[in-house]
Structures are given as C-alpha cells and as structure tokens.
Amino acid sequence: MYKIAHISDPHISYKDENEHGKRLVGVLNDIKKKGCDHVIVTGDIVENPYPEDFEYSKEIFSHFGLLENSKMSVVPGNHDIFGGYPKAQDSFRFYINCKRVDYDKNVDQFIEVFKNTFPNNNAFPYVKIINNIALIGINSMGEWSMKNNREGSNGFIEGESLEKLKKILSSAEVKNKYKIVMVHHYFYKPGLDEEKQPEHTIWLKAINWKMKLYNKKNLFRMFKKYKVNLILNGHSHVNQVYIDKGITVVNSSTCVMPLTDDQIRMYNIISIPEEGDTERSIIIETIPIEE
C-alpha cells in the first residue's frame, strides 16, 4: 500500500507567535514515524503571503526532505494569496488590502517557493503520476471581486482553468489510475456534522458567504463523470470523511488550528493499493495528534 498523509491549513508565520511552526514539526514527525510515502497540503500553508512566512514554512518541509516532486504536493489557499484578517483597528482596511493584492504575482510566488514539488510545467491545474496514482492539483482561489470575493476567501474554477482540468481528467495519462483531486475549498454544505460539532456548524453557517466555492455542482458532476476516486480539501478547519454521489471526500481539520468543539488536532492517512492488487481497496485513517 502507498501511504499518503493529508494535512491542511498550517497557517505558518515567521514570528511563530502561535507556535504553528512548532506544531507542524510535531505533525511531520508523526507522519515520518508512520512511514508515509507522500504528504499533501491542501492550502493555507502560511498565514500571510510574506516572503519570510513562506521561507519559514519551506525550511520546515525541507528539514523533513519533503521538497521533492515524489514526496509532497501542494495547492494554495486564501491565506497564501490574500493573507489573513488583521487585528483590531486595522480590520476595516482588510477589504482594501485584498483589492490591492497582485493576484498573479502571489500565485507565481507560491509556485516558485514550492517549485520542486511541481511537475515540469509549474502551473495550475497540474497532474502528477506516481505509480498507479494521478494527483491532480487545482488552484481554487478566485481573484478579488467586490460582489463575490471581497475578502479574498471564496473559490472559483472556471474559464481556461476549467478547460485544462477537463483535459487532464479525460486524458489517457490518468486512465485506469486512482484519481485524487487536491483543492483548498470544500464541497459539503455547512451542517453536515451538526450533531457532532454544533459550535463549528454555527460558525461555518455564519461565515458561509465568504467560504464559498462557486460552480461546485458542475465541478462535482465533472469529477463523477471522469471517475475521480478522492477529493482532498481543507479551508473549514474540521476533519471529515464522507461519500457524495460515489466520490469519497476527505477534509482535513488542519494539523495546527482546529476550529472544532473538541479542539483535537487531526490529519488523515490514505493508503492506496499497489498496481495489480485487486483484493484491496483505499483505506482512510483519521489520526489524532497527541499533545
């Protein structure tokens, strides 16, 4: 079995005031002990798209020998492009700051920082073939819009990116492979875990207007048409594994900052059967982090 560790939303900052870097090191140590072959990070790697924040996160991943195409795969989140919500008196300027963000420059910065983990084309969407697995990375971050994305946290996959994604999914290269889509934004409706996580559900419903993935129904139909096996995402800071219309969706609660009632940090290990091993199926384990 090929073992993939799925983490999300580390929110690393250079000053490390919240010790997110320290916690990420702890998670990566645990992943290493469990003998995982690959690590997937579904966005919000840094708290703000500052060069020093990216350099610190890069140092951590490099320490574990992960900055290689065969060892790690990443996609950006809203914090990697637009940054996080400022504190106190600066909060009213956040919309202005988001509007002023050079979207293309920040996407290019993300790719440059993690370029050794990308396929040769260094662009989104991408496909990476590892054994009998096709890892498909999507940039779900939408550009700034006063109407639909004024806090830079909603998702859009459309136009040229959508056509490229369709081309990847329909290609001979991914045929008969286990197809795993990696994306920051989630697909479920807030309230899925209302009985288990009532406080998290209230939070998510209250801010759902700025956590949307537009066009997600059409995207899901495309994934079903081309027989995607797994969708890995983050963004909502809750751990979930569920099946929707035959596709297994795995959401990481974030390895450092779960916004859940129980505050338990978790990540996922996904075991994929080797080529020709028809007697096994995909196994997904949710791993709690010991404090």
DSSP of 3-47, one letter per residue? EEEEE----B-TT-TT-HHHHHHHHHHHHHHTT-SEEEEES--BS
Q: Reduce the DSSP state of residue 117 to 3 states and report it.
A: helix
Q: Quick one: pLDDT at residue 122?
A: 81
Q: Of 231, 184, 191, give the one whose Cα is nearest residue 208.
A: 191
Output the six-digit token pair for 192. 């899925």
Q: Quick one: pLDDT at residue 89?
A: 57
Whether domain 2-288 has CATH 3.60.21.10: the reply is yes
Give this prediction's pTM: 0.95
Count of C-beta atoms within a 10 Å radius of residue 217: 10
Q: Of 126, 111, 254, give the one whose Cα is nearest residue 181.
A: 126
Q: Quick one: pLDDT at residue 88?
A: 59
Q: What strand order describes the sheet that includes 126-130?
A: 126-130, 133-137, 178-182, 230-233, 247-251, 240-244
**pLDDT tens across 25-48, in order?**
999 999 999 999 999 999 999 999
Low-confidence ranges of the chain (pLDDT < 70): 88-89, 291
Q: Of 171, 210, 174, give the one whose Cα is nearest residue 190.
A: 210
Output the six-digit token pair for 116. 């050794």
- CB of 57 closer than 8 Å to CB of 163: no
Can you tell me the distance from the alpha carbon of 253 to that of 237, in angstroms, rounded to the nearest whole number? Answer: 4
**pLDDT tens across 160-191, in order?**
999 999 999 999 999 999 999 999 999 987 77
| Residue 63 identity (one-letter amino acid) | H
Q: Quick one: pLDDT at residue 197?
A: 83
Q: Reduce the DSSP state of residue 248 to 3 states and report it.
A: strand
Q: Quick one: pLDDT at residue 131?
A: 93
